[in-house]
Amino acid sequence: MPYRAGVRVELDLAADPVDLTAVLVDIPSVSENEAELADAVERALRKLDHLEITRSGNTVLARTNLGRAQRVVFAGHIDTVPINDNLPSRREGEILHGCGTVDMKGGDAVMLHLAATLTDPRHDLTFVFYDCEEIDAARNGLGRVERELTEWLKGDVAVVCEPSNGVIEAGCQGTMRIQVRTTGQRAHTARAWMGVNAIHALGEALRRLEAYEPRTVEIDGCTYREGLQAVKIEGGVSGNVVPDEAVLTVNHRFAPDRGAHEAEQHLREVFDGFDVKVVDLAAGALPGLQAPAARELVEAAGGRPVAKLGWTDVARFAALGMPAVNFGPGDPTLAHTRQEHVHVQQIRDCAAVLTRWLTR
């Protein structure tokens, strides 16, 4: 039955995960408006006797308590970016279109399928369906769970089912934004020699960026390529005034062998002599592929894991001392676009890989 606002939706978790993805996509859940979808997920999970269920805001959590030696934590956000004339979902052959098909309701459907069908897994399982991932980090539901229900996030390995084209993306890069600030002295441009141009003073910082050679780092067989890029310049008073202040914003993506403090110290060395201020920082996550449960997943997935070039919530699990990977259906380059779509076979393949890992 097509989705209709105000009509209660009942999810069939035993259905083909492709069909389940379509149903999830059709329930609008733009960040801060996930209640309807969270309610549907909670109702469906509470029908499963083998799971313990709890809820925090619009985050729904479920877990087995079978006394297994190891626990795997699955995490997936249920919110999406604003709809862009790409709902309801539509199926064209082997392609499913719609907002959230990639980021990340295909991954959520896989998690729900596992929660319903794996009643006797070889590891204990925790599933976290969380809200507000697509907006300010302070609102992220996973962060709230970490603060209020920390025990629910503990395990031996974490799998974040963000889109990864169906291959294992291990760990993630750290990210840092800094501001390089220069000061000068105002003057009329007709008497420019009486002033000091703060914008001109950024020239040396830009030359250092132009000459910078980023590192390439291999960890656990995964290659992380770092980056250092100017992303914004601010300055200027008016068309006839020598500016007395200018700010260059720089983004640094760093390999997870460097901690946040090391990355900051590196940038202060690069811009030695300048006024540098850190304005945003998120540490990366080591791949952790040597952990036994992680090695088993790599074997089940086949192929070669790749480095995650970007930041994801795997870093939250790494901060808790857990190895974590990204593994989910969908091409991440299509996320947040009007053309968002997923190959349905990727959804089925991801479900099959994870089932094989957890049942063999």
Query: Nearest to residue 350, comparing CAs of 66, 113, 71, 139?
Result: 113
Q: In which element (H, E) is residue 23 found?
A: helix 17-26
Q: For residues 324 and 287, what is the distance between their CA atoms, to the nearest angstrom?
A: 7
Q: For residues 297 and 355, what is the distance between their CA atoms, to the nearest angstrom?
A: 10
Q: Which DSSP string do the residues of 126-191 spell out, in sequence order?
A: EEEEES--SS-GGG-HHHHHHHH-GGGG--SEEEE----TTS-EESB-EEEEEEEEEE-B-EEGGG
- Residue in 26, 34, 42, 79 annotated catalytic: 79
- Cα 186 to its chain centre, rounded Å, is 44
Strand order in the sheet with 245-254: 227-235, 245-254, 174-183, 275-282
Take residue 301 and report the two structure tokens written for it.
């997935």
Q: For residues 173 and 196, what is the distance between their CA atoms, to the nearest angstrom?
A: 39
Asked about 34 being catalytic, the answer comes back as: no
Q: For residues 158 and 176, what is the distance between their CA atoms, to the nearest angstrom?
A: 24
Which residue type does 164 have? Answer: S
**Contacts (Cβ under 8 Å, ≥6 apart) of 284:** 171, 172, 173, 174, 175, 254, 255, 256, 258, 311, 315, 318
- Residue in 26, 42, 124, 133 annotated catalytic: 133
Tell me the C-alpha to C-alpha distance, in Å, between residue 295 and each of 162, 164, 168, 240, 359.
Answer: 19, 18, 11, 64, 15
| Alpha helices, H only, 241-343 | 260-270, 292-301, 314-319
Q: For residues 91 and 290, what is the distance between their CA atoms, to the nearest angstrom?
A: 40
Asked about 296 being catalytic, the answer comes back as: no
Q: For residues 63 and 71, what is the distance between their CA atoms, to the nearest angstrom?
A: 10
Could you give the 3-state DSSP secondary structure of residue 14? coil
Q: Give catalytic residue positions.
A: 79, 133
